Amino acid sequence: MMTSDLSSSPSSSGTEFADPNPSTDPETNSERVQSQLESMNLSEPSEVSDGSHTDYSGGDDDDENAGAVEVALSNGNEGGVSNGCVAGTSVEEEIEGGEASSRAEYPVEMEAGEEPPSPTSSGYDGERGSSGGATSTYKADDASEDEIREANVDGDTASQHEAAWLPGKRHVDEDDASISWRKRKKHFFILSNSGKPIYSRYGDEHKLAGFSATLQAIISFVENGGDRVNLVKAGKHQVVFLVKGPIYLVCISCTDETYEYLRGQLDLLYGQMILILTKSIDRCFEKNAKFDMTPLLGGTEAVFSSLVHSFSWNPATFLHAYTCLPLPFGSRQATGTVLQDVCASGVLFALVMCRHKVVSLAGAQKASLHPDDLLLLSNFVMSSESFRTSESFSPICLPRYNPQAFLHAYVHFFDDDTYVMLLTTRSDAFYHLKDCRIRIEAVLLKSNVLSSIQRSIAEGGMRVEDLPIDRLLRQKPNQGQAGHESPRDVSVGTGGPFGLWHFMYRSIYLDQYISSEFSPPVTSHRQQKSLYRAYQKLYASMHENGLGPHKTQYRRDENYTLLCWVTPDFELYAAFDPLADKAMAIKICNQVCQRVKDVENEVFLQGASPFSW
Amino acid sequence: MGMASMSSGSESLRLCVFDLRRGQNEGQELDKILFFYPPDQTFSTQLSVIGLSEGLITFTRLFSPEAACEVIEAERHSHVFYEAEPDIWMVMVVEKNKEIEAIWRVDALQRILKEVHSLFVMFHGSIRALLEKEPTGGLTRSHLYPFITDYLNDLFVGKKLQLPSFRETLKERGTVQMLTLARDAAIEVQSLVGVLDSCAGTVRCHSMILFHDLLVSTTLSPDDTVDVFTYSVMRLTRNAISSGTSSWSYLRKGSTLSQISSRSSSPQLLGSSDPSLPSGNGNNAGRVIRPLQHDKWSKGTDGFLVTDIWGRDATPTILLQQTQERVYLLTYQYKNLTLVLLVPDNAIVNGELDISFVKHQVIENASAKILKVEEKITKGWGGENAYHVSGYRYLIVDTDMEVSRASPPGKVATLAKETLLAQNKLRETVDTEKSRTKEEKDMEISIRAKNNAWVMARLTRGKELYMALEKASETLLDATDSVQSFSHKYCSGVFSMD
């Protein structure tokens, strides 16, 4: 099968291109964009196309013979929370290689379960504790160490459509000529300023060389005019650009996210790359503009894909704060004390983490860890299989701390969830750090911290249903149930009191946040993601550049009633039923703040070395 | 061959119109350019702006075939796109500059492009039709250059181009502002409209009546009403004719003086970069008609407005969007009352002879009613601040009817800059939300800004309310109550949430 539009492009002329989804519109070829820019004789896209296009012989049965287009119906859309990419069409295409039986486990995986046909649930299993039998179905997967996953749990269709999120790259067989590729809801690209592809979320980087050159052409075209392109909007699509020296980052997305957040995501993606390579890669580009960076990032796809995945479930990615595992004050205190001791012995940072949550951390004098660095660090450790199998000593860079220099990270997992990270500037410190770890482990065992952690995981975090309702409020006549029932009974199936569905509380001074567990009716993954997107928008609108922060915001649409309150000490984001009473919602918000203050010793890490930067 | 600078000199605005179907072969790129402002830019600059635009239109269609590029936000410029007709694009590049308060809402800029295009179509027909009539493009260019240049001159205050900045966030371009009538006045107006409708004998005429710069009545479709209303306020109403008078309408900016100064340069701007200016534009006049030229309308002795824009003693015609029929445009003025009569061209068989018959009919049959209507309306007219509601700064938009009402600009100007900026951002948020769904949005946003002002938006059933309150002591519930009582009192409860 030959596609005329492709063969017309200079880079792939004469190439047999077996495209399972041939473009039907020859006008919309990315090569054309370049030629339009080129035809003006005004830009000079680099010669990335020479030979970098993979020869695609017709015999590739994965793509040709078995290249049936699987149509995954997504008309299980739930009312207003749909993030449907193509308005009016509820059909997404998915290429399914017939021979690729291994992929059959997750046949529906448009943007990693982004639009599964049914509501899904996700999260770190176990951590959700009793909040639903849904995730426990997938407990078996623990063996394969998929910490982050998504699971379809729609009661009706769960058996037919199950999508588990697995780290790593998908759809490598696609490129910019595939319709399916173009329909992906969110693309991320990293390229060099000469147009060489470094990373693409979907598709094979090498096959995307032409596309990458187009992106480079757009950026440099605007740059040559003395400007810098930030954003292009087209319908529901946003193309967001971020230039970091010789590295260009681009996101093309039709998810309902704000420009600010998408740009923040690119920033984190860049940070993740720096964490692996340090900023000294800039020098490689100075020496050789055509430097190929891809080999340096070999094997890190899982790190990037898990970071991209976290953009849709981890509030730390937009709150720029970290969260702690709820623990008895004493357990955290004991851990903190030993970590501080360790830091006094020449360790720069010492952290005990449970998945992406902090148990305790300490830093050497004057050293402070930015929450974004913490996020990237835990993502790196959590998504790399090798850290789990043995104690590791690996060079890493903390982009916010010092983007130029490598630190050395000693990582050891105490169990599946809990691990210690010790960071040092000394490359010969392995045995010292190992000793430190042994000391820490001894304290954790002695103080029963590890079992407290397991208990905390099982119990989960704060729940809106558990909020103590002010007696006065409970007696309000408009709440049908009488006061003799416990608050929990009042709200079964409907979240917390008076329509409270969820909240997030961010302590500004501590750089930490606490977020309630998801409660009904926000149970499916789709609903949770939709709520996070609503929060992100709220956050962006409260922290408007040059204007913010605003003080209060009330927002109601067909999906939620959202309330946000920003003070010098904290920020509160709360989601209610769209029909929630405004006055009551305000009262509940006050109670949430009070409740968080009541338990702050358990949910926050207090008195750590000051976290200024 | 370097790339022409996108930011040469102090150019704060570039505006181009180009046709993607033209100039596709190498060496013929210039052919796609139909209009470029400022016209003294080199071709390579023009091509670079258009090349980038075209490249991004193609690029975005890869991912978003149904809606191509709408805006490019760069560090120093915003590029605003509008596909005026299939494959005919208008792109406006504006310089961002915080010092001169160049902070906009993209939607407001896009509305400028929409407005100039629909006015153009009203007078000259579609750009595509002109291109088909005369495929070299010369005819189209010779019409676009003076038209858009004249339009842009309206946006100049002194030598400065004033685009709708955040200070105009409580205004909505492309909508009509209505006068609220008392019942007795309404009855008089109704009867006058009846008379006007039948002024051309058996063929029914359309009419529009304005008082000052406000709409009193219309028999046109909402889209046509907006176009005719816009043109009337720009050029026909009493305030427009005596253009020294300040106006509260955003459609007319600076003073006469500044308009002259900016216009003085326009003759050499017009069509100067088009070597192939054709003679003849289908109107037999042998010259290009410039309906937006300034100071070309005046009141004749019989009360009808006269102009030589269309030639000596020639009556202008316009094209109605809804019916695609050409109609003659007659304007009668009495004091602050402006009556626009649109006579279908099939009623005019003998040219100016029939026109004067219609005029005669108006004077004969309607004069008494016009007098009465003017008197009644003037008596009930509350003046420029008639729609001021004390304590509130607001904008109400009815998107279905394309009607808006807002606090008087003088009152909006009392708001703090931070409040206006916050309101502007809020409108941007609402624009984004609206663009994501085709259905009518039902939503409510209230923000308490850093300066304690409340900025609010409520959308319900195609109606939008934007409001700013600067009373520092108010809580969210107080602010809600304020909106509620405003809604009950002035919007028949449309925006009430209970």
Reported as a single tens digit per residue, the pLDDT across A285-302 is: 888 888 888 888 877 889
Higher pLDDT, A82 or B169: B169
Residues A182 and A41 placed together within one structural domain of the fold: yes
CA distance A31 to chain B (A): 9
CB contacts, 8 Å: B435 with chain A? 235-236
Contact B62 A224 (CB under 8 A): no
Residues A427 and A503 placed together within one structural domain of the fold: no
Residues A473 and A590 placed together within one structural domain of the fold: yes
Residue A371 contacts by C-beta under 8 Å, 6 or more apart in sequence? A316, A320, A321, A322, A511
Residues A476 and A501 placed together within one structural domain of the fold: yes
**Number of domain units in chain A:** 3
Residues A236 and A295 placed together within one structural domain of the fold: yes
Residues A305 and A395 placed together within one structural domain of the fold: no
Is the predicted pLDDT of residue A358 greater than 90, yes or no? yes
CA distance B444 to chain A (A): 5
CATH number for the domain spanning A504: value is 3.30.450
Assigned domain for A95 exists: no
Of A25, A236, A544, the CB nearest to B64: A236
Residue B312 — pLDDT band, cuts 50, 70, 90?
A: confident
Residues A451 and A539 placed together within one structural domain of the fold: no
Q: How far is CA B189 from the centre of its chain?
A: 25
What was the pLDDT predicted at A11?
A: 39
Assigned domain for A320 exists: no
What does each C-alpha distance from A105 to A109, A159, A163 come to in angstroms?
10, 11, 7
Residue A454 — pLDDT band, cuts 50, 70, 90?
A: very high
Among the candidates A435, A459, A483, a domain finishes at A459
Residue B4 — pLDDT band, cuts 50, 70, 90?
A: very low
CA distance A540 to chain B (A): 10
CB contacts, 8 Å: A236 with chain B? 64, 67, 435-436
Name the residue range of residue A470's domain.
464-603
**Mutation target among B447, B467, B473 for the A interface, most CBs of A within 10 A:** B447
**Mutation target among B47, B61, B62 for the A interface, most CBs of A within 10 A:** B62
Nearest CA in chain A to B447: A553
Of B59, B66, B443, the CB nearest to A235: B66
Nearest CA in chain A to B475: A552
Among the candidates A459, A494, A520, a domain finishes at A459
A vs B: CB pairs below 8 A: 197
CATH number for the domain spanning A404: value is 3.30.450.30
Q: Across-strand partners of B445? A: A555, B457
What was the pLDDT predicted at A606?
A: 84
Assigned domain for A116 exists: no
Residues A296 and A177 placed together within one structural domain of the fold: yes
Mean pLDDT (whole number) for B221-234: 95
CB contacts, 8 Å: A34 with chain B? 55
Residues A480 and A595 placed together within one structural domain of the fold: yes
Assigned domain for A118 exists: no
What was the pLDDT predicted at A287?
A: 85
Of B48, B444, B477, the CB nearest to A583: B477
CB contacts, 8 Å: B52 with chain A? 37, 218, 221-222, 225
Q: Where are the beta strands (DSSP E) in A425-510?
A: 500-507
Q: Could you read off the pLDDT of A300-333 as tens digits, one per residue?
A: 889 999 999 999 899 999 999 999 999 999 999 9
Assigned domain for A304 exists: yes
Contact A221 B422 (CB under 8 A): no
Residues A483 and A571 placed together within one structural domain of the fold: yes
**Mutation target among B41, B59, B428, B498 for the A interface, most CBs of A within 10 A:** B59
Residue B49 — pLDDT band, cuts 50, 70, 90?
A: very high
Residue A473 — pLDDT band, cuts 50, 70, 90?
A: low
Assigned domain for A79 exists: no
* Cα–Cα distance for residue pair B476/A550, rounded to 1 Å: 13
Is the predicted pLDDT of residue B41 greater than 80, yes or no? yes
Residue B228 — pLDDT band, cuts 50, 70, 90?
A: very high
pLDDT-wise least confident of A501-510, A513-522, B345-354: B345-354
Q: Could you read off the pLDDT of B234-272 as tens digits, one per residue?
A: 999 998 888 655 555 666 654 333 333 333 333 333 433
Among the candidates A433, A459, A485, a domain finishes at A459
Considering chain A, what is the average pLDDT of its residues? Answer: 74
Assigned domain for A334 exists: yes
Nearest CA in chain A to B72: A232
Q: Could you read off the pLDDT of A152-188 as tens digits, one per residue?
A: 333 333 333 335 566 677 777 777 777 888 888 899 9
Assigned domain for A422 exists: yes
CATH of B13-165, one of 3.40.1280.10, 1.10.3080.10, 3.30.450.70, 3.40.190.10: 3.30.450.70
Closest CA to B34 of B45, B48, B19, B44: B19
Residues A298 and A442 placed together within one structural domain of the fold: no
Query: What share of chain A has pLDDT > 90, as a percent?
Result: 48
Of A217, A226, A231, the CB nearest to B5: A226
CATH number for the domain spanning A25: value is 3.30.450.70
Q: Could you read off the pLDDT of B329-347 as tens digits, one per residue?
A: 999 999 999 999 999 988 8
Of B51, B66, B447, the CB nearest to A36: B51
Strand ordering across the sheet containing A186-192: A197-200, A186-192, A247-253, A237-244, A229-234, B71-74, B77-85, B88-95, B13-19, B33-37
Is the predicted pLDDT of residue A108 greater than 70, yes or no? no
Residue A379 — pLDDT band, cuts 50, 70, 90?
A: very high
Residues A497 and A360 placed together within one structural domain of the fold: no
